[in-house]
Amino acid sequence: MLGRNRFLILLVVGGVTLAVISLSLQFLNLIPSAPTEKRPPQGADGWDGAILAKSRKRVFPETHPPGPNSVGDPYSYCNTPNRSEQAWEGHSPADYKLLSVQVMIRHGDRYPLYAIPKTRRPAIDCTLSPSRNPSHPLLASFISHMGLGGRANWEAPLHSIPRIPNHSSCEMGELTQTGVVQHLHNGQLLRQAYSHHGILPSDWSPRQLGIETTSRSRTVQSGLAFLYGFMPDFDWGRVNVRHQWSTLFCGSACDCPARNRYLEEEQRRQYRLRVNDGELEKTYADMARTVGVLARQLRAANPIDSLLCHLCHGLSFPCASPGDGSAGKCLTMEQFAVIRRQQRNDELDRGRAGHYHKYAILAMYPYLNQTATKMERASRDGARREEVFSLASGHDITISPLLSALGLKDESFPRFAARVVFELWRSPPAKAKQGDRSKGKGRPLFIRILYNGEDVTFHTAFCRSHDRHAGQPLCPLENFLSFVRRDMFSAVNATSYQEACSRR
């Protein structure tokens, strides 16, 4: 009977997968506010529901959310390791030269951040074992190599964080073996994609490789797994790992009062929409009764976070504890269908209101400006010692505003181990036109942006109108620079970051 129930659960789970993977902020309240102290925000890995569920990517073939009884792929968000994946990183017209690569990742699969009261926590082993699935050909050597990590230069407080997950019973928020394997796979994909481009020479210097991460163990360990997949057995002595205290990777430019106001407006909008939804409120009350707690306790426990873990690891949904008056009752897929319906309404309302997009522009400007600056430096003559490969390891609340700020409104909510890649290319000498003033000996410079291996450059706000068939098959870098330095602020009626942040 248990096996049959598990089969039925897996059969219908596809119908609510997108409900699970892109739930709104109103249930989770975890979009970060502007930092006021130099420390990571609490609950820094929350669901902010910032990206519309509709997707055009090959790895997400659904163009509309499936109904509650549909059979779909329940693992788009879970990002099941070792399945085939098309990666378009490293592709360009013939003879174009790759000058730099900058990667932003979300950490891999993790244990929930919250526990549902009066239910059993999911039993997951967070130690690493090459003999346990999912595994990876590099996993054994990765475990061994991490034991040498003391040789690297770690910014405080990163040096005290374990380099691999190490608890037989996972702690809250801990990276799982699945999460490690996901990023070993990501790094290996990019190593294969860039192997013939020589982006990092064999004698690379510490200045050419940039690594930064928040201080959560899951981001530190995800970044190391990615790096090892990209450069197996790398030299620890040449590795400098920088600490990024903000999940927005805004460094010293985080102070932006207007960003806080847009965030508050977005939170108020979502709250109003939620409290006016009677069916949703009834569903949460039903879920609370099922496990024998008050509705407010259930919301505070963030049940979606735990249920995602059950889904991704093939575990049955939680039931009330034995001995409780609700013993034998379990959370259901029908309850998720209601949440999904409300979430779709929220997506439509969010797009109309526009508060989140404005928040995202001000939240991600510092990171995008740093990205633009690195590209400019890498394009200069004699820039061999500049940073040419950058890796930033963050959270869903890092990736979501980044996608929104770039204008990628149709991209799916960032899955575990999602990656955004910025590539800088220079055209061959024969492609340069007389009178072209682009940097680099008159040879034009171009940018590509990829999300989970798919080229989304011509869906960005700065290159959506570019005619890729007009002699320039790639997006000019100048489009990106103008967007970051000026054009993106038109959405907040300003011409600069300073003006936008200080405006009342």
Q: What are the residue numbers of the active site?
A: 107, 396
Contact 407, 464 (CB under 8 A): yes
* Adjacent-strand bridge partners of 450: 421, 455
Phi and psi at 219, nearest 5°, equal -80, -40
- Please give the single-letter amino acid code of residue 167: H
Element (H, E) at 482: helix 477-485
Contact 246, 4 (CB under 8 A): no
> Rounded to the nearest 5 degrees, what angle is found at the Cα of 245, between the Cα atoms of 242 and 247?
110
Closest by alpha carbon to 213, among 112, 104, 108, 363?
104
Closest by alpha carbon to 390, among 118, 185, 136, 103?
103
Positive or negative: CA dihedral 408, 466, 366, 355: negative
Contact 393, 119 (CB under 8 A): no
Based on the number of CB atoms within 10 Å of its own CB, is 375 exposed (0-12), middle (13-18) or buried (19 or more)? buried
What six digits make up the tokens of 339? 């949440």
Three-state secondary structure of 346-387? HHHHHHHHCHHHHHHHHHHHHHHHHHHHHHHHHHCCCCCCCC
**Cis peptide leading into 134, omega within 30 of 0?**
yes
Contact 30, 47 (CB under 8 A): yes
